[in-house]
Structure 1
Amino acid sequence: MTSTSAPPGLARFNGLEESAAFAVLHQVCACTAWVRALLAARPYATIAALHAASDAATAGLTTADLAEAMAAHPPIGRPAPGDPASVREQRGMSDASADLRAEMLDLTLAYQEKFGHVFLICATGRTGEQMRDAIEERIGNAPEREWEIARTELGRINRIRLARLVEEDARA
């Protein structure tokens, strides 16, 4: 399948009642403005069109919208209990040493103190060391720069989650 062909689950997603589609999109990204933008652009002919709509919606989010989305993300190293997506996305921390876990806890707390929000990174496929290196690099950023990096990371997370959504729909 190419990136421009529609996965079988996309038709099912397109056919969901609006309230059901809202609920599944809200699980992808907990920002109401983002969800509404994606709902308004349905139906999607391809996953590429869905991703393009997500990218456009993410680019248009205000700081308050970004804060709403980030508030639903658990800190790195502390996936949400009972949330398999959170555990899967943070898999890179599962084998981290106790020292690295303690270091990440200290860094994420310092980051949150400085910026007022969770350290957001697309953790999928990253090791604990890579996430530590990223937070160490980013903690020195100006707040405005960090908001834009968080926006980019949110876009990456949303793309992965949307792809998984339509793949899971295809298996349903």
Structure 2
Amino acid sequence: MRRVDWRGVTSFNELTQRQAISALYDVCSSSNWAVRVAAARPFADDAALLNRADLILAELTEADLDEALDGHPRIGDRPDNPASAREQSGVSGAADTVLAELRRCNQAYEEKFGHVYLVFADGRPADELLGILTERMHNDPMTERRVMRMELGKINRKRLQQMLTPAAEFQVVDL
């Protein structure tokens, strides 16, 4: 948990290398991404951190992306971390029929593409996420990997912004 006196990017710059990598790994579970972003410190401001994080994400290998995907639960499953719980909050309370269809489509997606369906959920309702999933099933694997990388970038940016938020403004979500 962050210190009460957290000052955003300034405090992030002051973390030890190990602490910074750990904080970044909570954002994106690609160890290569976390190590490289941490090594780029100090950052002048939030924008510099976000831009470097985006650049490093664009350079990740397919294996690095697969590692990052391992940190994301399926849409509709019970999230196993506070960030995913916040992001998938719009799914809670969805009708059983929508959740059942989401599970079915998640399985079909994984069979087709070989990885979990990743989308910038950000509180969107289950039926909207199901519609996006259904639409993305029409993508070819190469297109879908590009889309997935863009969605991961959106998730990373939102999580980084949350990480930089002063502790007094940060809301904890119980699992």
TM-score by structure 1 length? 0.91
Question: Which amino acid in the other structure matches residue 50 of structure 1?
Answer: L
Aligned residue for 1:110?
Answer: 108
Aligned residue for 1:163?
Answer: 161
Query: How far apart are residue 75 of structure 1 and its match?
Result: 0.1
Q: Deviations over 1:5-42 (max 9, x none)?
A: xx932111110000011111000000012112211210
Query: How far apart are residue 95 of structure 1 and its match?
Result: 2.1
Aligned residue for 1:3?
Answer: none
TM-score by structure 2 length? 0.89
Gaps of 5+ in 2: 1-5, 171-175
Task: State how far apart, in whole Å, the 2-side matches of 1:130 and 1:153 are.
Answer: 15
Counterparts in 2 of 1:1-172, with a 5 A limit?
8-81=7-80, 83-169=81-167
| Aligned residues of 2:9 and 2:164 also touching (Cα < 8 A) | yes
- Alignment length (residue pairs): 165
Query: How far apart are residue 125 of structure 1 and its match?
Result: 3.2
Question: Which amino acid in the other structure matches residue 16 of structure 2?
Answer: E
Secondary structure of 2:139 counterpart: coil
Task: State how far apart, in whole Å, the 1-side matches of 2:144 and 2:39 are.
Answer: 29
Q: Which runs of 4+ in 1 moved over 6 A?
A: none
Task: State how far apart, in whole Å, the 2-side matches of 1:99 and 1:42 are.
Answer: 47
| Aligned residues of 2:87 and 2:121 also touching (Cα < 8 A) | yes
Q: Which has the higher helix share?
A: 1
Question: How much is the aligned-residue C-alpha RMSD, in angstroms?
Answer: 1.6
Task: State how far apart, in whole Å, the 1-side matches of 2:57 and 2:78 are.
Answer: 23
Gaps of 5+ in 1: 1-6
